[in-house]
Structure 1
Amino acid sequence: MPESKFFFVSAVPLLHSGLVRERAAYFKEKNEVRKRLKGIPFFTLPIYAPQNFVFSSRHSFRTMHIGASWHLARLLRRIDPDVVHCRSYHATYAALQLRERLGKKYKVIFDARGVWSAEVALKRNFPEEGKNYKFLLNLEKWIVEKSDATISVSPQMGRYFENLGCNRSACIYLSAPVDKFEKLSSSAPKEKEPQAIALVYLGTLGVDTWHKPSELVALYKHLVALVGRVRLKIITMSNHGALLKQLEALGLCDVEIVSTKSIEELAAELGGMDIGVLSYFKPKTKNERLLSSVVMAVKTAEYLAAGLPILVNKYCGGAAEVVSTNSVGIAYNPDTFEEITEHALNSLRTGGAQQRSVFIAKDLFDRSANAQRYAKTYRQVVS
């Protein structure tokens, strides 16, 4: 949109996980963001509360906005925007409140990324009939109804917000540098054993997460029983030593665990592999099932961009729908694995699934294509 001017605004709690985890490196990362934005002005606003207040009760929610809304109001008066694109519930709440208070006419785009009401209720153990959960649901409905457009990262998430009465709905999947993955992974040296399936798991893995080692091991053992030889690589920033002990306790000893620090390194590690894995977990509660049904992980895009069809737990809803709808893998039942047969596996290695995976990655997850989708939404809300 060369005819338009853009601003990038980041509101950050004074005490947050990035600062605790990365310390001085956090400020270096902020400078890298400024460099990538080039001529786009980048503003940071303070939030006078610790990050854990993001997961709010009906009493603590507004404390995130004390003081921070004053800084944002000053900035909005200065910029006088036509569209405010908000990448969280808190940001959308702030933009909507200030639009009314300042008498502005800018359009608000709610870009959810997840179902925050269910996330908070699960994290804080709010009962479904309790006042806190009802507060979150009412707040969510108010945000959806007041926003001029709602963007979702999966069709299931879009349907959820449509049922709440959103004014305009758009599904724009997560973005990835698809061309870079395709080029770098295809040029990586091929070191796979001819008769072995080269399986790769990417991302967080741990007993205290939704990405359970037990689910990955169960899938691995099913594949070994099915085809005999399976080579497993895990690419993760999780603690390698602790993870290895967890895997060994589950009876898995023959595994390669690596970490990567750049797209180039990640693409090289994905090169030469056959199939990507999203083993996930088995949801049990209402909110777990809701969150699982709408989830979309960026590793979905990275696998496909590298030409890897995916074996995905059917409860990993957004990814499972992409895989099933576009025939770029197998969405399986983690209790039976009945969908994963030797014939089905062979078709992922020889039936054009790799080329189809790259095509789907370009169609759904490419950064440039998604920029066009965002631009279309901006134009629609101001027309």
Structure 2
Amino acid sequence: MYVSILEKVFDGGIFRNQVIELLKNIKIQDSSENIALFIMLPILLRSNNGIHFTWNQYEREIAELKAEMNINNIDLEISYIPMLFSHFYLKPFLLFYFLLITTPLLSIRIIKRKISVIHCRSYLPTLISCLLKKIFPIHVIFDLRGLYVSEMVTVNMLKNDSLSYNIWSKIERYLLELSDQIIILSDTFAEYFESKKIDVKEKTKLIYANVNIPYFQSERGEKVEYKKKLELEKYNIFLYSGSLGHWHSSDALLSVFKKIAFQISNPILVVLTQYRRDLILDSARKYGIDEKLLMIKYCKPEEMLEYLLAADFGIIPLTEEQLGDDFYWVARTMLSSKAEEYMAAGLPILFNQQIGGLQYINERTHVGIPFTFSDEINIRVNHYHTLSKNCKDYANRNFSVKSNAEKYMQLYKVN
């Protein structure tokens, strides 16, 4: 049974790529595999339009997901749990309340379905499952997705001198020690465990996040054709796609672009984001960058692909600020789905060398150009096509949902 709790299941493509497509591929490869997906969602959702019941807000999406799972012979169950506010479970006195509600729900499914393996997506499902290991003979797979404890500090959900931080640090250690298998998403994540003096090497397995490889690499036109379609044919395109804020700052992005813009003719920075346009323009003015060298857009996923295929380089800036040990570990263990998508599209990456997961790959398979903010960035490469090919080849070998499904299938087969 695959368990997800309090995730944004219907917002964006992450859950679909990393969960739905994975389970479908496992079922395709082994139709005898009995797979169930159990999702716990909050009863209420808050939006700009007020507070809504989840099943009303996502009525169509829930119906479509149920139909899709049924066609693929995957059992889907959705339960709704009362939430007081977002991430309320981080407060120690409310964590017990959360466990009191959710533990019986999972217990019933274990008994009813005679579950032997629970694939836990992140901390909450793993915490409940590890507690239930004391009652049921279950094999717990801890898929270590964010937010982990250091990430919680970085996004201001916890303070590292707080009681909640100390409690969640102890919970993290407990989950790592008690789970039967641990999945990490980058080669450098094992260093995080070593820093905590937790020896889990024997039960840790690296499985990168999934990318829809055919989507990025199906029969498509040449780069020049996409540039022409987007009316950008005269430009050398540097692309950033995704959110700006906690992990990656607009100041860092524009600082990097300033360093490379003078090296080549007709540069343009294309930013695909929901981040505030005025703040990005403030950063541009701060670094003396002409607005004519910027294109800031919010676009649908299918539109984003055209920009990826038209671009010459992807950028992953992180931030110029030094934010302490917790941020260091976030950066050191990071690979990012953004990097995986760039690579799948054959897009060489300009990346902050603090991003440990990507730096690890680049040291072994040249996929981009690492930089620091204190040094100049040399963008003049005479082996661009080799870089692009390296990106695609690495993505094909490591990021495809088909190969990941095979790896997870091996973990599910517990004697």
TM-score, L = length of structure 2: 0.81
- Aligned-pair CA distance for 1:227: 2.7
Identify the residue that residue 172 of structure 1 maps to in structure 2: 207
Identify the residue that residue 289 of structure 1 maps to in structure 2: 328
Q: Does 1:10 align with 2:23?
A: no
The CA RMSD measured in Å over matched residues stands at 2.7
- Aligned-pair CA distance for 1:310: 0.5
Alpha-carbon spacing, 1:280–1:10, altered in 2? closer, same or farther (3 Å): same
- Residue 185 of structure 1 contacts residue 270 of structure 1 at CA under 8 Å; is this kept in 2? no
1:286-365 matched pairs, under 5 angstroms: 286-337=325-376, 340-343=377-380, 345-347=381-383, 349-350=384-385, 352-365=386-399
Q: Does 1:156 align with 2:193?
A: no
Alpha-carbon spacing, 1:354–1:92, altered in 2? closer, same or farther (3 Å): same
1:142-221 matched pairs, under 5 angstroms: 142-161=174-193, 163-166=197-200, 168-183=203-218, 186=221, 189-191=225-227, 196-205=235-244, 208-221=245-258
The residue type equivalent to 1:168 in the other structure is K
- Residue 158 of structure 1 contacts residue 171 of structure 1 at CA under 8 Å; is this kept in 2? no
- Aligned-pair CA distance for 1:354: 1.2
- Aligned-pair CA distance for 1:287: 0.7
SS of alignment partner, residue 218 of structure 2? helix
- Aligned-pair CA distance for 1:157: 1.5
Identify the residue that residue 126 of structure 1 maps to in structure 2: 159
- Aligned-pair CA distance for 1:65: 1.8
- Aligned-pair CA distance for 1:106: 1.4
SS of alignment partner, residue 271 of structure 2? strand
Identify the residue that residue 18 of structure 2 maps to in structure 1: none
- Aligned-pair CA distance for 1:99: 2.6
- Residue 85 of structure 1 contacts residue 111 of structure 1 at CA under 8 Å; is this kept in 2? yes
- Residue 226 of structure 2 contacts residue 307 of structure 2 at CA under 8 Å; is this kept in 1? no
Distance 2:279 2:153 in 1: 29
1:330-359 residue CA offsets vs partner (Å, 9 max, x unmatched)? 12112224xx3244x343x24x11122111
Distance 2:180 2:50 in 1: 36
Identify the residue that residue 118 of structure 2 maps to in structure 1: 84
Identify the residue that residue 277 of structure 1 maps to in structure 2: 315
Identify the residue that residue 107 of structure 1 maps to in structure 2: 139
Distance 2:138 2:332 in 1: 32
- Aligned-pair CA distance for 1:146: 0.7
- Which of 61, 65, 82 is the aligned partner of 2:99? 65
SS of alignment partner, residue 260 of structure 1? coil
Distance 2:48 2:182 in 1: 30
Aligned residues: 370
- Residue 226 of structure 2 contacts residue 306 of structure 2 at CA under 8 Å; is this kept in 1? no
Structure 1 unaligned spans of 5+: none
Distance 1:169 1:21 in 2: 43
**Structure 1 runs, 4 residues or longer, greater than 4 Å off:** 16-25, 184-188, 192-196
The residue type equivalent to 1:82 in the other structure is S
The residue type equivalent to 2:311 in the other structure is M
- Residue 11 of structure 1 contacts residue 45 of structure 1 at CA under 8 Å; is this kept in 2? yes
Structure 2 unaligned spans of 5+: 1-29
Identify the residue that residue 169 of structure 2 maps to in structure 1: 137
Please identify, of 190-199 and 281-290, the stretch whose mean Cα deviation from structure 2 is larger.
Answer: 190-199
Please identify, of 2-11 and 314-323, the stretch whose mean Cα deviation from structure 2 is larger.
Answer: 314-323
Please identify, of 83-92 and 153-162, the stretch whose mean Cα deviation from structure 2 is larger.
Answer: 153-162
Identify the residue that residue 222 of structure 1 maps to in structure 2: 259
